[in-house]
Structure 1
Amino acid sequence: MIKVAIVGAGAISSRHVEGYLKFPERAKIVAVADIYEDKAAKHVSDYHLDAVSVSDYKQLLADPNIDLVTICTPPSTHAQIAIDFLLAGKHVLVEKPMAASLAECDAMIAAAKKSGKILSVVAQNRFRTPWMKLKRVLDEKLAGEILHAQVNSYWWRGHSYYDLWWRGTWESEGGGCTLNHAVHHIDALQWMMGLPTEVYAMMSNVAHDNAEVEDISMAMLRFASGGVGQITSSVVHHGQEQQLVFQCQHARLSAPWNLYASAPMQNGFPERNTEFEQNIQDFYDKFPDVEYQEHAGQIENVLTALENHGEVLIDGNEGRKTLELIVAIYKSASIGKPVRLPLAFDDPFYTKDGLMASVPRFYEKTGSVERFENNIITTSGN
């Protein structure tokens, strides 16, 4: 039985608690920590946990009864908490984004290596059936090479969203929608296609004058293969339609799953190639659906790795790749020039202090509330 501590009892932590509760024979939550101890205690009560609640995560560092720690705190705190627990001999699953800078990512990875413990970074959408199957189709190159990739990470958040005390500043949130909303789709892009070699981006804040950070960004990408891509990250899109689209040599593939293949007529105009589509669809259909979806799927992956002394699907290095692409978007949008990848260790944007000294502050954060009474969140659109 793997003993688990949850650090951070905000809205997203419920997904983790519910995920662990799907595996009662394999994992048990024994502690919940939050700076507001009553929130931690409410988790214990609401979910009928046989667990202690504490206000300071450091009270749990030396607890020999804890094997695995899930971190669900604001992004600016991820690195220190993760490093503390790793060096205390605990395995760590940390919510996205992994950290506030590449330097912090590297410190977390180093702590995991030193301790010999697992560090896994949440990217729960990799554990969705359409994404997993799309990855298999792309890996097999059934539709040929990728010519153009399109990421639409469209979300909508009201003005009051940024009133929560830790949101809306570069210091505490680490960024806006590019870092905290599009992270899942950006992670999927680099998982499926690899990192680009060049990024050219712009960003703005068009609807949230109570936040320093961006509420929309757009990036153009160039890959070593010669393919190109584009990413739109937004919290101003009504309807929240999100998709990944890969235009390949012989067909269009996307998530949510959609397939279209064209063949040229004699004059070069397209006609639909249904026979080719059927071949790809048959390959797609032969793979079973993912048994455990999203957070539960990632938690199951971590539990299996611990039980079998194996590896996790999304480790610290994978989490770092995603953040590197996001940092490149921020750098390009801030300096108004293309940015080459990988970023160097002496790049000003490598550290949090360097990034904060260089990014624009669109507005001054004017509202600050400790918590919202309504703790309901949505974690996906259509």
Structure 2
Amino acid sequence: MLKVAIIGAGAISSAHIEGYLRFPERCRIVAISDLYVDKALGRIEQYGLDARAVEDYRELLREEIDLVSICTPPYTHAALAEEFMEAGSHVLVEKPMASSLEECDRMIEAQRRTGKTMSVVAQNRFRTPMMKLKTVLESGLMGKIGHVQVDSFWWRGHCYYDLWWRGTWEKEGGGPTLNHAVHHIDALLWMMGSPAEVQAFMGNVSHDNAEVEDISVAMLRYGSGSLGQVTSSVVHHGEEQQLIFQGEKARVSVPWKVKASNSRPNGFPEPNRELEERLQTLYDGLPEIEHEGHAGQIDNVLTAIETGAPVLIDGESGRRTLEFITAVYASASTGGLVKLPLDPQNKFYTRAGMQENATHFYEKKTSVDNFAPQEITIGSSYKKEE
């Protein structure tokens, strides 16, 4: 029975708690830590946990905690992960992995030094439509992918950035490119790999209480010559989110949709029903995931700890996602084309470099310690389009 501690009792902690509670024979939550201890007590009461509330997480470093979920703001991730791995705990850290590549590298080094398991949350990989789409892409039935489109559309009200750590380069580390589109970017890199070049633009069009962007648009070029575009936003009403892959022979996406074309003698398209049916049959025949979202990733981490198997989303994977996001910020802030991989000498490599060189749109005008507990949205279900 693995002993689990949750560090940070904010909104996302519920997804972790509910995930662990799916596996009562394998793990038990023994502590929840938060600077505001009443929030930790509230989570314990909410879920009827036999756990204790801890104000100072350092108390837990002296105890035998097998696995820690880090659910705190991004700027704290690296130090917490390092400390807990050094103390003997495995770590599941919320997205984004950290607020700089330098911090990611420190975390990866700590993981290698201690031999502990470290996984970075990217719960959308553990959704049936995502798993099915990756298999369809790997089948080769679509031919070479020529274009990919990622729409990470979210909407957040003006007061969203009133929370004390949000909306600053120092503590949040960025806007929706880092904190919302991270899931879609992770999926893109998982399915397509990293691009060779990034050219990006960003702006703040609706939140004058934040230093960071509320929308960015990135154009990508892969080594194969394929192109892509990624839009990251918290200004899109409706929050429609999708990944579309255009191949030589067909188009597929999440939410699931398949279209295939043949060429008429004059070059105009006509439907390729046979290929559409093959792709649909492949998709329909793939298995459903038993545990989805955070529960799926927690199952993966528990299995890794129990068996020694690798996790699906490790530190290197988390770092690649942050490298892409850093390239977007570097390009959008300087106006230049950015080539990947990024060099450690890049001025955006460290958190201090990001704060100094990233575009500051506005200064934060208001700051509140907490919002009243409310339900949050953590992503589309990626169900089939109707």
- Deviation of 1:341 after TM superposition, in Å, equals 0.3
Alignment of 1:246-257 (within 5 A): 246-257=245-256
**Structure 2 residue 312 is matched with structure 1 residue 293:** no
Any idea what the Cα deviations from partners look like across 1:90-130, whole Å, max 9, x if unmatched? Answer: 00000000000000000000001100000100000000111
The code of the aligned residue for 1:39 comes to K
**Structure 2 residue 58 is matched with structure 1 residue 58:** yes
Residue 258 of structure 1 is matched in structure 2 by: 257
Alignment of 1:80-119 (within 5 A): 80-119=79-118
Residue 35 of structure 1 is matched in structure 2 by: 35
- The percentage of aligned residue pairs carrying the same residue is 62
- Aligned partner of residue 231 in structure 1, secondary structure: strand
The code of the aligned residue for 1:354 comes to G
- Deviation of 1:41 after TM superposition, in Å, equals 1.1
The code of the aligned residue for 1:16 comes to H
Find the aligned partners of 1:157 and 1:313 in 2 and give their Cα distance.
30
Find the aligned partners of 1:360 and 1:344 in 2 and give their Cα distance.
20
Contact 2:177 / 2:232 at 8 angstroms: preserved in 1?
A: yes
- Deviation of 1:374 after TM superposition, in Å, equals 3.8
The code of the aligned residue for 1:63 comes to E
- Aligned partner of residue 75 in structure 2, secondary structure: helix
Any idea what the Cα deviations from partners look like across 1:270-294, whole Å, max 9, x if unmatched? Answer: 0111111111111112211111110
**Structure 2 residue 150 is matched with structure 1 residue 151:** yes
Residue 206 of structure 2 is matched in structure 1 by: 207
**Structure 2 residue 172 is matched with structure 1 residue 173:** yes
The code of the aligned residue for 1:11 comes to A
Find the aligned partners of 2:44 and 2:180 in 1 and give their Cα distance.
28
The code of the aligned residue for 1:269 comes to F
Find the aligned partners of 1:144 and 1:215 in 2 and give their Cα distance.
35
Residue 190 of structure 1 is matched in structure 2 by: 189
Find the aligned partners of 1:181 and 1:39 in 2 and give their Cα distance.
24
- Aligned partner of residue 131 in structure 2, secondary structure: helix
- Aligned partner of residue 84 in structure 1, secondary structure: helix
The code of the aligned residue for 2:211 comes to E
346-355 or 311-320: bigger deviation: 346-355
**Structure 2 residue 25 is matched with structure 1 residue 25:** yes
Residue 5 of structure 2 is matched in structure 1 by: 5
The code of the aligned residue for 2:72 comes to T
- Deviation of 1:344 after TM superposition, in Å, equals 0.4
Find the aligned partners of 1:287 and 1:303 in 2 and give their Cα distance.
24
Any idea what the Cα deviations from partners look like across 1:2-59, whole Å, max 9, x if unmatched? Answer: 1100000000000000000011111100110000011111111111111111011111
- Aligned partner of residue 120 in structure 1, secondary structure: strand
Find the aligned partners of 1:27 and 1:336 in 2 and give their Cα distance.
49
- Aligned partner of residue 62 in structure 2, secondary structure: coil
- Aligned partner of residue 130 in structure 1, secondary structure: helix
Residue 220 of structure 2 is matched in structure 1 by: 221
**Structure 2 residue 364 is matched with structure 1 residue 365:** yes
Residue 280 of structure 2 is matched in structure 1 by: 281
Residue 244 of structure 1 is matched in structure 2 by: 243
- Deviation of 1:375 after TM superposition, in Å, equals 2.5
The code of the aligned residue for 1:100 comes to S
Find the aligned partners of 1:39 and 1:377 in 2 and give their Cα distance.
16
- Deviation of 1:373 after TM superposition, in Å, equals 1.2
Residue 312 of structure 1 is matched in structure 2 by: 311
Tell me the TM-score normalized by structure 2: 0.98
Residue 232 of structure 1 is matched in structure 2 by: 231
- Deviation of 1:77 after TM superposition, in Å, equals 0.5
- Deviation of 1:81 after TM superposition, in Å, equals 0.5
The code of the aligned residue for 1:150 comes to Q
Contact 2:198 / 2:220 at 8 angstroms: preserved in 1?
A: yes
- Aligned partner of residue 229 in structure 1, secondary structure: strand
- Aligned partner of residue 348 in structure 2, secondary structure: helix
- Deviation of 1:347 after TM superposition, in Å, equals 0.9
Gaps of 5+ in 2: none
Alignment of 1:264-275 (within 5 A): 264-275=263-274
The code of the aligned residue for 1:56 comes to D
Any idea what the Cα deviations from partners look like across 1:65-106, whole Å, max 9, x if unmatched? Answer: x10000000111111001100111100000000000000000
Residue 44 of structure 2 is matched in structure 1 by: 44
- Deviation of 1:217 after TM superposition, in Å, equals 0.2
Q: After the TM superposition, list the runs of 4 or more consecutive aligned residues in structure 1 that deviate by more than 4 angstroms.
A: none
Find the aligned partners of 2:256 and 2:163 in 1 and give their Cα distance.
35
347-356 or 196-205: bigger deviation: 347-356
Residue 14 of structure 1 is matched in structure 2 by: 14
Any idea what the Cα deviations from partners look like across 1:212-253, whole Å, max 9, x if unmatched? Answer: 000000000000111000000000000000000000110001
Gaps of 5+ in 1: none
Tell me the TM-score normalized by structure 1: 0.99
- Aligned partner of residue 170 in structure 2, secondary structure: helix
RMSD: 0.8
Alignment of 1:118-137 (within 5 A): 118-137=117-136
- Aligned partner of residue 171 in structure 2, secondary structure: helix
Find the aligned partners of 1:374 and 1:73 in 2 and give their Cα distance.
16
Contact 2:11 / 2:373 at 8 angstroms: preserved in 1?
A: no
- Deviation of 1:158 after TM superposition, in Å, equals 0.2
Contact 2:196 / 2:221 at 8 angstroms: preserved in 1?
A: yes
Contact 2:9 / 2:43 at 8 angstroms: preserved in 1?
A: yes
